[in-house]
Each structure stands twice: as structure tokens, then as C-alpha cells.
Amino acid sequence: MTLQLVLLVAVALFSIGLYGAISQQVVVMVMMGIELMVNAVILAAAALWWFLTPVVDIQVLLMVVIAAMTVEMAVGFGVATLIHRARRSDMTDDATELQQ
Amino acid sequence: MAEYLPLIVAALIPLAVPVLALAAAGLDAALTARARGTSVAVGAARPLREITRLLRQQRRTVLGADRLLWRIGGVGLIVASFLAVIVVPFGDTVAADLPIGVVWFNTIDVALWALWWMLGWGANGAYALIGGYRFLAQALAYELPLMFALTAPAVAAGSLNVGEVADAQSGLWFVVSMPIAALVYLVSVAAFSAWGPFSPAAGRDLAGGVLGELSGIDRLLVKAGRWCLLVAGSAFAVPMFFGGGAGPLLPEPVWVVIKTVLVLLVLVFAGRAIPAVPPQRLAEIGWVVLVPLTLLQLLITSIVSATGTGGM
Amino acid sequence: MIASVLFWISALVAVVAGALVFKVDSMARATYALALSFIAVGVAVLTMRQDFVGIIVILMMVMEMAIMAVFMISYMGMNPALMPMDMTHAKRPAAAIATIVFVGLGAAVLLIPWPVIDPQPVEGLTEQLGEAMMGSKMLVMLTVSPVLFATIVASVVLASPRGRYDRYGDRLRGPAHDPEPGGLGR
């Protein structure tokens, strides 16, 4: 259990999350990919605190990360609800107005 | 010897909690029998007969059931109740003396959201699934007030360690100095155990709800798990609001058990007396009434503990 | 030693459960696989002696996933457990990008000479965190709380199909016309 190995685990989690966020069509599944990426960030930040510098700043950062995750989820569900009401589906391919 | 005490307590928890749960279930069945005018003794023995019946009963297979999640939900309730009790101090002995025991209890109670819902989902039945959703609906109503209710004693004690919260009540029990938090806590215990007014998740109008498709040992585990959760909630109330092991003559661990039984009795009788509330009505009550009330309680508690005027 | 073993078990569970999220064809299982991944990361954080953060990650994420499962199921509109199907697009580019990111970040992790110290548990870390949030790092708290409040308002505005005119009529008078009455009879 060294810093590099822990960070490698975090990188693996991050990559899986990234794959999911890009490849999934359903909004909620995309959110799950993003959550997995944030999960990796939590692990990495905790490892940096433990192996590099035990200052409380990183703990505060972790709190911000967790708060950011809740914001992401709440707004994501709001948007998913809106899209679902308008389109009867929640696929990202149906919500491309901003692309045009 | 002293270093093994936490282990002994930890080993006793999976024995003591179900025994108390069985006693509570027996009392409930006896009261039902008396209300119906049948033999109280036969009624009191009903849970025992139910246990032997369910142990012998063969599992029904349900088509398309999500077995994995269903089993996790089935075993989870009773395990969660044990995990909640490990942070309760019996005198100086705690099975797991976590520095953040209060947050631990909160985590266990949040895990119940997932477990109850899995029970409903796994069965692959409409009624069971509606039961699972009913639980989530009432969970949304009770969870936030419960969190604030748990925060108040922690603020007053200046610690998240359950033992220190209990010790902080040497002057005045928190049930006296913060009655709203104590009341909200007890209501939430009934809610996360799906007991009394909060039982629609397993309601008769839904053919048993989450219990509907369960049979044999699974049904036994879930029914026992509900009662065990009620016991766990009562046990945790003792260090949080009822002064922990404080009491005359008897040793501290005995007082913890006595107080647990008393809180449990209150929950059983109150739960029987209050009719079931539809879960869809609870959100408004929870957020418009209970959240402001518990926040007010927290404000008062914070001011009092910040100014340091004794008693708390 | 025990911490190390525990860490590796939880790291393995976290990665495997994370991969299962996009592998299983049941929405409920996908959601709870993600919950399991979060629980495992929470345990891993606990092995690095950060009690509060570790437990809070578990608490928040189990709750979040319980809600997420509900959204998953209500918006998919079908039951993939009964009807296996593929709800993905651009799988190959996604896999390529993910692999490149993994190799790049992984190389960075291995090549950077980290100034590692000998890790020691910090006494009273939770208290320090509380003091920091309410003291020297107060600005963080001051920023996060309005953001969270704005989030509540914004999500309700986005999600709610009915405003007060739908409830009380054009003159905003009289009893509310709700499909389901609330608990207070308002």
C-alpha cells in the first residue's frame, strides 16, 4: 500500500467512470459515470492527505468534492425529469439542441 | 480480562437484541389477543409459533425475482440492527468505541433506505415494489429531521463519540433539555423500523407490501429484523437522550438495558395506539413542521452550549 | 498490516463494482454496484485513518443511490432485466479515450517522484476539520451553503411541472388543487 498504488486504483476508477460517461445514452447512467469519476477523486485526495501532507485543507477539499457531487446529482435529476417530461425518454441523443 | 470486555459485549449483541425483539413481538401479539378477547397467553406465544412455522416452511420461488438484491435486503435489516448497537456504551464497555459513533448510527439508518427498497424490488411483484417505494417516500420525510435530532446531543456534548454524549448528561438528561430532538428521534426509530404509524410499506392494504412475496426463512429474517431495528433504536436512544448508564444502586450496564426496555415499551404502545399515516402525506409534515422544529432545537442547543451556562 | 489487506480488498471491490455498473443489464443492480463501489472507497479512506470523510462518503452515497435507483427505473420506462438491451453509443471511441486517460494518468502517477512521508494517524482529525470549516476555511462553508440552497431551488424549479397558479388558480385563492393532498391540508 504505497501512494502510487493507491493513485493507480483511483486512475482505474476514473477511467471506468469516463468510459461510462461517454458511452452511455441514458442521462442517469451518464451521471453514474460522472459519480464514479468523482469517487476516484475522493480516493486520490484521501491518499494525498495520508501519504504526502496531513494538513486539514485536504479534508476541507474532500467536503467540497462531496458537496459538488450532491449538486451534480440534484441538478442532474432535475434535468432528467424535465427531458423525460418533454420527450418521454431520457436519452442524451434526444437532447442535442445545444449542439446545433 | 478487561481488554476482552468489548469482544464479550460484541458477542452478546446478536443474542440480546433478538431476545428483546422476541419479547417485544410477544407483547405486541399479547396486546392484540387481549383486544380481540382471545387468550393472552396463547397470543403472547404467537411469535414463537410463527418462528417454528417459518423455519419449517419451504421457500416459494418467485418468477423473475432479483435474488441477489432480495437476499441482501432480507439479511440486511437484522445485520443493520446489530451494527447500530455496537456503538452503544454499556457502562465503560463499548463493543466498538468509534470516535464518530453518532455518524455511524446515521450511516446504518441510511443503509436501511437501500435495504427496504431492495426487499421491495427483489420480489418482482407490484405490491412489494410499491411497498419499497412507500418506504423511500417516508424515508425522505423522516431522514432530515432525524439527522438534526442526532446532531443536537452531539453539539451539546461537543463530541460525536456516543460514550462522551452519554457522559455529558450527568447534570440533566438530554430528553429534558432537548425534548423536540428526543421526540423526533423516537418517531424516526418507528419510521425506519416500519412500525406503527409508519407501517404502510408492509401494509395489509398492499397484501403485505415488502413482506408480501417473502416466505420461509427470508420472511422470518425480515420480520425479526423489523423488531430488532426497533430494539436497536431504543438502545441507541439511551446514551443519546436518557443519560446512558446513569441510575441508582444497579450497575451501569443493567441500567442501559432497563432503559432500553422502557423506551421499547413506549415505542410498542405508542405505535399500536397511532393509526397508519399514508406515506405520501409525510413529506409535507416532515419538511414543513419537523425540519424547522429540529433546526430551532439545534439553534437553542447551540446557543446554550456556546454560552456555557451549565446544565447541558 | 490489517489496514493494508483491508485496503486491497476494498480497492479490488471498488474497481470491480465500478466496472459492473456498465456491465450488468439490470438498472437496480447497476445502481447498487455503484453504491458498493462507493462503500468500498469509503472503507479504503477509513484504512487511511480519515474516519469522518470515510463514513460520510458511505452515508451520502448509499442514500444517493437509493434515490438514483428510483430515477433509473422510472425513466428507463422498461425493464432491461426482462429485456436485455444495449443503451450505449460510441463505445469504441469511449474505450479508446478511457484507455488513453488511464495510460497517461497512470504513467504520471508512476513517474512523478512523490515526496512521500511516513503516514501517521492524526489525533482528533474530525475536530480539526470542524474547526477549519467554521474558522480559517469559513469561506468554503459560506460558498458551499448558498450553492447547496440554490441547488435545491433550481432542481425543484426544473423538475416541478406545477407552479402556484396551477395549484391555486389564476387569482391565487382558495384551497390548492393537488393530485395528492399534502399532510397538512394546505
Domain residue spans of chain C: 1-82, 122-174
**Closest-CA residue of chain C to A86:** C161
**Closest-CA residue of chain C to B133:** C70
Give the nearest partner residue to C71 out of A15, A63, A80, using CB atoms: A80
Give the nearest partner residue to B284 out of C63, C66, C184, using CB atoms: C184
Prediction pTM value: 0.92
Q: Which of A15, B73, B119, B122 minimizes the C-alpha distance to C22?
A: A15
The three-state secondary structure class of C88 is strand
- A23:C144 CB<8 A: no
Note the pLDDT of residue C79: 53
pLDDT above 70 for B311:
no
Give the nearest partner residue to A71 out of C37, C41, C147, using CB atoms: C147
- A67:C56 CB<8 A: no
Domain residue spans of chain A: 3-93
- B114:C26 CB<8 A: no
Q: Please tell us whether the domain made up of A3-93 is placed in CATH 1.10.357.10.
A: no
pLDDT above 60 for B310:
no
Chain C closest-CA separation from residue B2 CA (Å): 23
Q: Which of B69, B75, B61 minimizes the C-alpha distance to B223?
A: B75
**What is the complex's ipTM, to 2 decimals?**
0.90
B296 — alpha (psi -120 to 50), left (phi > 0) or beta? alpha
CA distances from residue B138 to A73, B109, B208, B210, B212 in whole angstroms, order as listed: 20, 13, 17, 14, 19
Mean pLDDT of B171-185: 92
Contact residues on chain B for C28, CB-CB shorter than 8 A: 66, 69, 118, 121
CA distances from residue C184 to A59, B285, B288, C153, C181 in whole angstroms, order as listed: 41, 6, 9, 22, 8
Helices (H), B67-100: 67-85
Percent above pLDDT 90 for chain B: 61
Give the nearest partner residue to A47 out of C31, C48, C154, using CB atoms: C48
For chain C, say whether A11 makes contact (Cβ under 8 Å). Answer: yes
For chain C, say whether B160 makes contact (Cβ under 8 Å). Answer: yes
Note the pLDDT of residue C42: 96
- C44:A43 CB<8 A: yes
- Give residue C8's identity as a one-letter amino acid code: W
Domain residue spans of chain B: 2-306
pLDDT tens digit sequence for A46-78? 999 999 988 889 999 999 999 999 999 999 888
Q: Which grid coordinates are listed for B117? A: 427498497
Contact residues on chain C for A72, CB-CB shorter than 8 A: none
Residue from C43, C68, C126 whose CB has the most chain B CBs within 10 Å, to mutate: C126
**Closest-CA residue of chain A to C100:** A15
- Give residue C156's identity as a one-letter amino acid code: V
Note the pLDDT of residue B40: 87
For chain C, say whether B103 makes contact (Cβ under 8 Å). Answer: yes
Mean pLDDT of C30-48: 94
Distance (Å, rounded) from C-alpha B17 to C-alpha B30? Answer: 20
Note the pLDDT of residue B312: 44
**Closest-CA residue of chain A to C123:** A54
**Closest-CA residue of chain C to B288:** C184
**Closest-CA residue of chain C to A38:** C38
Note the pLDDT of residue C89: 79
Give the nearest partner residue to B288 out of C63, C70, C184, using CB atoms: C184
Question: pLDDT-derived band of residue B170, with 50, 70 and 90 as boundaries?
Answer: confident
Q: Which of B230, B183, B198 minimizes the C-alpha distance to B81?
A: B230
pLDDT tens digit sequence for A7-23? 999 999 999 999 999 99
Mean pLDDT over all residues of chain B? 90
- B117:C184 CB<8 A: no
